[in-house]
Amino acid sequence: MDFRFSPKEETFRQEIRDWLKGNLPEDWTGDRFTRSDENRNVYRDFAKRLATKNWVAPNWPIEYGGLGLSVIEQLIFNEEMSYANAPIGYSTIGVGWAGPTIIVYGTDQQKKQHLSAITNAETMWCQGFSEPNAGSDLANLATRAVKDGDDYVINGQKIWTSGAHYANWMILIARTDQEAPKHKGISYFLVDMKTPGISTRPLIDMMNNHGFNEVFFENARVPRDCLLGEENRGWYMATTTLDFERSSIGGAVGARKMLEELTEYTRETPVPGNGHRLSDEIPVKVRLADAAIEAELGRLLSYRVAAMQARGLVPNYESSIAKLFNTDMQLRMAKAGMEIMGLYGQLDPKSKWVPLKGRFERQYLWQTGLAVGGGTTEIQKNIIAQRGLGMPRG
């Protein structure tokens, strides 16, 4: 087992660090949580800067606008962006989910139309999968796409669609065969969000953000060439998208940054009345030591996923373990921070009394959502039990 990075990889890491010093937006607070028009512009402008380096999707093949980097180089890239709290959300769905699925299943025309627009940060994508009665049981979806001449006519509703109010395109799954068993009558579409008949309605989350939406389709007519792959094979393509979604690697290092910030905070903060600093208090030390162990473990679980991908293997329950552990670990880290900060730790970032710009309170609420998005904790546990331990389906 050799955990060292090669000299070439270390050079790449240093190049990213140097670049970030000059290219993070001026006055950037590291607020990756607020969803506003202003923040959206910051994200888009940062994506445009990345595009000048071909760094929007550095692991994509060169012909599609990437640099053909290895899985390990992509891991390093993700780690450095995460450690710097860089505003990298603009292209997440395009780069992480839509693009890779198009690379596998798209026609030449679809690849030409969409892939370089993603790597040039010209288009933003959203994901129209979940519905009011289809989340964990996604194949239960009811949105219908009916063939009519050279078009499909779409009717139905999606929910929890992140960023739909900004997105130019949507990856959509809809039912094209009402009679077939539920996994076999679904097709996968690439839909222009400006199509007449598509409307969005905001859903405000517990951070008071407008990040999610309901999306309604009322006789929305899309051309036949929006279909990705074969008709009625959409379920299998959607599972490919979800595999890309869950194997996102490198984020665990953000926890190390939080730990460092928190440790520094305890060194600087006096305990009222006894002349100590918070860092002198044994319960605080124990809490931070626990957090350090967990952050390291999270990083190693991510490395395991990356190492498998680098060897050409397809991680499966291993991705679920990493996703589940890292989400829970960051939630516990945020909770530890809020408890160490006392009641101040729960203040809103806008309060002048809030420590560390309110990042721990925001992180706590954010991670609570991440435990659901991309497949809930219970669904990850089902995958680990069935595919990892060979237990029967429930």
Ligand X SMILES: Cc1cc2nc3c(=O)[nH]c(=O)nc-3n(C[C@H](O)[C@H](O)[C@H](O)COP(=O)(O)OP(=O)(O)OC[C@H]3O[C@@H](n4cnc5c(N)ncnc54)[C@H](O)[C@@H]3O)c2cc1C
By annotation, the residues acting in catalysis are 245
- Part of the chain binding ligand X (CB under 6 A), chosen from 94-102, 156-164, 267-275, 354-362: 156-164
For ligand X, the closer CB: 36 or 136: 136
Q: Find the binding residues for ligand X in span 67-126 (CB under 6 A).
A: 126
For ligand X, the closer CB: 242 or 341: 242
Query: What's the CA gap between 99 and 105, in Å, rounded?
Result: 10
For ligand X, the closer CB: 176 or 209: 209
What 3-state DSSP class applies to 135?
Answer: coil
Closest approach of ligand X to the CB of residue 369, in Å: 4
For ligand X, the closer CB: 60 or 166: 166
For ligand X, the closer CB: 20 or 370: 370
Q: Find the binding residues for ligand X in span 160-179 (CB under 6 A).
A: 160-162
Query: What's the CA gap between 67 and 75, in Å, rounded?
Result: 14
**Helical spans, DSSP H, in 84-180:** 92-93, 99-105, 108-119
Question: What amino acid is encoded at 124 in this protein?
Answer: M
Q: Find the binding residues for ligand X in span 355-374 (CB under 6 A).
A: 369-370, 372-373
Closest approach of ligand X to the CB of residue 334, in Å: 15
Q: Based on the shown chain and the rule CB under 6 A, indicate whether residue 378 belongs to the binding site for ligand X.
A: yes
Q: Which two tokens stand for residue 299?
A: 């990083």
The CB-nearest residue to ligand X is: 135
Q: Which residues pair with 155 in a beta bridge?
A: 144
Which of 257, 252, 249 minimizes the C-alpha distance to 337? 257
- DSSP assignment of 333-379: HHHHHHHHTGGGGGS-TTSTT-GGGGHHHHHHHHHHHHTTTTS-HHH
Q: Return the half-sphere exposure (C-beta side, CA atoms, 13 A cut-off) of residue 204.
A: 3
Number of residues that bind ligand X (CB under 6 A): 19
Q: Based on the shown chain and the rule CB under 6 A, indicate whether residue 379 belongs to the binding site for ligand X.
A: yes
Report CA Rg, the chain. Answer: 22
Helix, strand, coil percent content, the chain, rounded in steps of 5: 50, 15, 35
Q: Based on the shown chain and the rule CB under 6 A, indicate whether residue 189 belongs to the binding site for ligand X.
A: no
Q: Is the dihedral of CA 378, 381, 383, 385 positive or negative?
A: negative
For ligand X, the closer CB: 6 or 140: 140
Closest approach of ligand X to the CB of residue 15, in Å: 32
- Part of the chain binding ligand X (CB under 6 A), chosen from 35-43, 83-91, 154-162, 190-198: 154-162
Q: Which two tokens stand for residue 376?
A: 């809930």
Q: Based on the shown chain and the rule CB under 6 A, indicate whether residue 248 belongs to the binding site for ligand X.
A: no
Among 13, 376, 386, 388, binds ligand X (CB under 6 A): 376
Closest approach of ligand X to the CB of residue 122, in Å: 20
Q: Based on the shown chain and the rule CB under 6 A, indicate whether residue 380 belongs to the binding site for ligand X.
A: no
Among 136, 199, 239, 351, binds ligand X (CB under 6 A): 136
Cβ atoms of 145 and 139 closer than 8 Å: no
Which of 103, 139, 334, 343 minimizes the C-alpha distance to 229? 103
Among 85, 91, 127, 200, binds ligand X (CB under 6 A): 127
Q: Based on the shown chain and the rule CB under 6 A, indicate whether residue 130 belongs to the binding site for ligand X.
A: yes
What residue ranges bind ligand X (CB under 6 A)? 126-130, 135-136, 160-162, 369-370, 372-373, 375-376, 378-379, 382
